[in-house]
Amino acid sequence: MTAAQVETKQFQAETRKVLDIVINSLYTERDIFVRELVSNAADALEKFRHQSLIEKVEFDAHVPLEITIDCDDKTHTLTLTDTGIGMTKEELETNLGTIAHSGSQHFFEQLAEAAQKDVNLIGQFGVGFYSAFMAAKKVRVQTRSFNGEEGFEWASDGGGTYTISPCPGLHRGTKIILELKDDAQTYGSKFTIERIIQQYSTFVPFPVKVEGKTVNTVQAIWTRSKSEISEEEYTEFYKFIANAGDEPMLRLHFSADAPLAINALVYVPKENFEVLGMGRMQPGVNLYCQKVLIYQHSENILPEWLRFLKGVVDSEDLPLNISRQSLQDNALVVKLRKVLTKRFIKFLGEEAERHPEKYLEFWKNFGIFIKEGVTSDYEHRKELGKLLRFESSASEPGQTISLDDYVGRMREGQDKIYYINGPSRMAVEYGPYVEMFKKRGVEIFYTLEPIDDFVLNHLGEYDGKKLVSADRADLHLPEFTEIKPEDETGKENAAPLAADALDQLCQWMKTILGERIAEVKVSTRLVDSPAMIVNVDGYMTSSMERLLKASGQNEAFGMGMKKDLEINGSSPLIKKLSTLRESDTTFAGDVVEQMYDNAMIQAGLLVDPMAMVQRNYRILERVAGDSAAAL
């Protein structure tokens, strides 16, 4: 080959970073590079198998689908060969020179952290190939695409560059040649390699031959009966299918004959990588037909909110040569998705009853996906309601309960389910919205995540009972027998301000607050707090407004976000304010403004902090003056 044919190229900056991380990572987990390369070879074989189902492949059609591993103890090289789909020159450059996820700084922070803790995790980041450099000082990749174009060799020592040069005479597929590092020569021994294959890659659905001997048993575990499969096998299969190093949290293995013939084995992982900041997860369930992989990571067989599931779905009823396009609107696939989704929701419901602790662990890590389901999956919204969990006024701090628990405890005559959002349990319990619920002994959910109000809003009702936010203006709690704690009797008797004085006060307060408020009204529900903000737009809650504002969307929604200020005629502050208005209108105005700001803060809404602090000082100065004068 002439020098002119060898092209030297720079790795993309992100790839260099990954290489640095891999090369400098702990060596205790080095074995996993074998798993990563075998898994890539198996992927390439699956891709070829599927390709040959949808089009007639002429070139090298006779070459059997398998993975061959050769060890050379003398030259310290390890060679992995697959007869898979291969790569063209362009594919070599994009696949082994750049990183699909690139551009996200966060991705690298996560990757670096994960790799330092446990190199095992890097396969999940889609950069498994580079783990070859944990053991090799030089890696050569010789490959020829199934389309028959002449092959190429990619070579690198893991530094800043790689070379690409023509490599004629190859068969279809990819050969990876590793020149082992001095301290990694054990990978030149077939015993080491056999052990690693047995540990990590027994489920590869193609023969893996080490020095001519097949070392794995090819099997489709999901088609076997449950009673024949051991826990270890299940866990090993999870690790294989999810390319994961951890153990699964939950597992569902089921088969059905009607309305479709299905064998499915799906897992919930232990960690939610999406909340760990890794960006949006790709779907993790593969679609098989009669044990042949049709699509890896198919977007069509499950709704998006189930993208955290890993596993296999096999249906004999699907045509083997179904194409990606027809998968999207194929009636069978639609039916398959329905059956799978319903079955999985049912499974979670059963799990919640059988193993509540475990379900709560699931809820903590993956509840966000259930919530996403409620907002995005109209078809399954109702069933998903059963799986939701929130804290409530009747739950211990930090403990969550279900809508069924709540409904089971509803008071006679109560026909709605109430909730209120806030940043923390403390903030909610000390806020004005919960007072009357406590007083009347009515349970109320505390929705502590900003997204929760959207979720309950989408759900609308549960078990025939409307879901209602307690910051609604038109909230009417029925007069249940009141539960009066001893020490509140005194307050109860305190006479409220006379009706006409209250009326005038409301009107005057409205002139102070102007457009910020639709109306100032006398509250029928406040107990201790002097005032609170309520929402006139029935379907908007303060927390939804907060979220929309934060994402800059409130304008786009074009909503007035109309609010009322409700005041408590029995509150000492309101009574004194009525008098103060006569004697010192300006100062009384400051008090109204401050009361409004306080109520906004309690509703979780933004106020102008500078104006508030200055006003607050004016009020303090006056109070300090009065106290000093009284001495």
Residues in touch with ligand ADP (CB under 6 A): 36, 40-41, 44, 82, 84-85, 87, 95-96, 126-129, 174
Q: Give CA separation, 14 vs 25, 89, 119, 274, 397, in Å.
A: 16, 21, 18, 20, 44
H or E stretch at 345 = helix 331-354
Q: What is the DSSP string of 225-237?
A: -GGG--HHHHHHH
Q: How far is the CB of 85 from ligand ADP (least distance, A)?
A: 6
Residue closer to Mg ion (CB basis): 130 or 418: 130
> Could you tell me the two tokens for 443?
């349970």
H or E stretch at 490 = helix 489-493
> Could you tell me the two tokens for 509?
């307060």
What type of residue is 159?
A: G
Q: How far is the CB of 324 from ligand ADP (least distance, A)?
A: 17
H or E stretch at 466 = strand 465-469
Partner touching 41 among ligand ADP, Mg ion, none, CB below 5 to 8 Å by kind: ligand ADP
Decide the pairing of beta strands 465-469 and 416-421: parallel
Partner touching 44 among Mg ion, ligand ADP, none, CB below 5 to 8 Å by kind: ligand ADP
Partner touching 198 among Mg ion, ligand ADP, none, CB below 5 to 8 Å by kind: none
Residue closer to ligand ADP (CB basis): 178 or 548: 178
Q: How far is the CB of 272 from ligand ADP (least distance, A)?
A: 19
Q: Which residues have C-beta within 8 Å of that of residue 222, sequence separation ≥ 6?
A: 253, 263, 264, 265, 288, 311, 312, 314
Residue closer to ligand ADP (CB basis): 95 or 554: 95
Residue nearest to Mg ion (CB): 128
Residue closer to ligand ADP (CB basis): 129 or 390: 129
Q: How far is the CB of 118 from ligand ADP (least distance, A)?
A: 17
| Residue 195 contacts residue 189 (beta carbons within 8 Å) | no
Instruction: Give backbone dihedrals phi and psi of 565, rounded to 5 degrees, phi first.
Output: -105, 120
Q: How far is the CB of 430 from ligand ADP (least distance, A)?
A: 49
Partner touching 127 among ligand ADP, Mg ion, none, CB below 5 to 8 Å by kind: ligand ADP
Residue closer to ligand ADP (CB basis): 34 or 370: 34
Partner touching 194 among ligand ADP, Mg ion, none, CB below 5 to 8 Å by kind: none
Residue closer to ligand ADP (CB basis): 177 or 502: 177
Residue closer to ligand ADP (CB basis): 36 or 452: 36
Residue closer to ligand ADP (CB basis): 142 or 469: 142
Q: Give CA separation, 417 vs 389, 470, 525, 543, in Å.
A: 14, 10, 17, 18
Q: How far is the CB of 128 from Mg ion (least distance, A)?
A: 3
Q: Side by side, which strands form the sheet with 461-462?
A: 391-392, 445-447, 416-421, 465-469, 461-462
Residue closer to ligand ADP (CB basis): 146 or 234: 146
Q: Which residues have C-beta within 8 Å of that of residue 442, sequence separation ≥ 6?
A: 411, 414, 418, 477, 480
Q: How far is the CB of 119 from ligand ADP (least distance, A)?
A: 14
Q: How far is the CB of 84 from ligand ADP (least distance, A)?
A: 5
DSSP conformation class of 168: T
Partner touching 250 among ligand ADP, Mg ion, none, CB below 5 to 8 Å by kind: none
Q: How far is the CB of 80 from ligand ADP (least distance, A)?
A: 8
Q: How far is the CB of 82 from ligand ADP (least distance, A)?
A: 5
Q: What is the DSSP string of 93-119?
A: HHHHHS-TTTT-HHHHHHHHHHHHH-G
Instruction: Give backbone dihedrals phi and psi of 250, rounded to 5 degrees, phi first.
Output: -140, 160
In a 13 Å sphere around the CA of 536, the CA atoms on its Cβ side amount to 14
> Could you tell me the two tokens for 258?
């009607």
Instruction: State whether residue 180 is helix, strand or coil.
Output: strand
Partner touching 139 among ligand ADP, Mg ion, none, CB below 5 to 8 Å by kind: none
Partner touching 87 among ligand ADP, Mg ion, none, CB below 5 to 8 Å by kind: ligand ADP
Partner touching 174 among ligand ADP, Mg ion, none, CB below 5 to 8 Å by kind: ligand ADP
What gap in Å lies between CA 340 and CA 302, rounded to an integer? 7
Dihedral sign for Cα 12, 13, 17, 19, please. Answer: positive
Partner touching 146 among Mg ion, ligand ADP, none, CB below 5 to 8 Å by kind: none
Residue closer to ligand ADP (CB basis): 21 or 444: 21
Per the listing, tokens 């299940």 go with: 234
Residue closer to ligand ADP (CB basis): 173 or 431: 173
Residue closer to ligand ADP (CB basis): 210 or 527: 210
Q: How far is the CB of 67 from ligand ADP (least distance, A)?
A: 9
What gap in Å lies between CA 363 and CA 559, rounded to an integer? 33
Q: How far is the CB of 93 from ligand ADP (least distance, A)?
A: 11
Partner touching 84 among ligand ADP, Mg ion, none, CB below 5 to 8 Å by kind: ligand ADP
Radius of gyration of the chain (CA): 33
Residues of the shown chain interacting with Mg ion in the complex, contacts defined by CB under 5 A: 40, 128
What gap in Å lies between CA 356 and CA 389, rounded to an integer? 12
In Å, the largest CA–CA distance within the chain is: 104
Angle at 301 between CA 95 and CA 39, to 5 degrees: 35
Which residues lie across from 378 on neighbouring strands?
none
Q: Residue length, the chain?
A: 631
Residue 135: how many other CB atoms lie within 10 Å: 24
Partner touching 569 among Mg ion, ligand ADP, none, CB below 5 to 8 Å by kind: none
What gap in Å lies between CA 154 and CA 122, rounded to an integer? 22
Residue closer to ligand ADP (CB basis): 40 or 529: 40
Residue closer to Mg ion (CB basis): 130 or 187: 130
What gap in Å lies between CA 34 and CA 191, rounded to an integer? 13
Q: How far is the CB of 340 from ligand ADP (least distance, A)?
A: 24
Q: How far is the CB of 397 from ligand ADP (least distance, A)?
A: 42
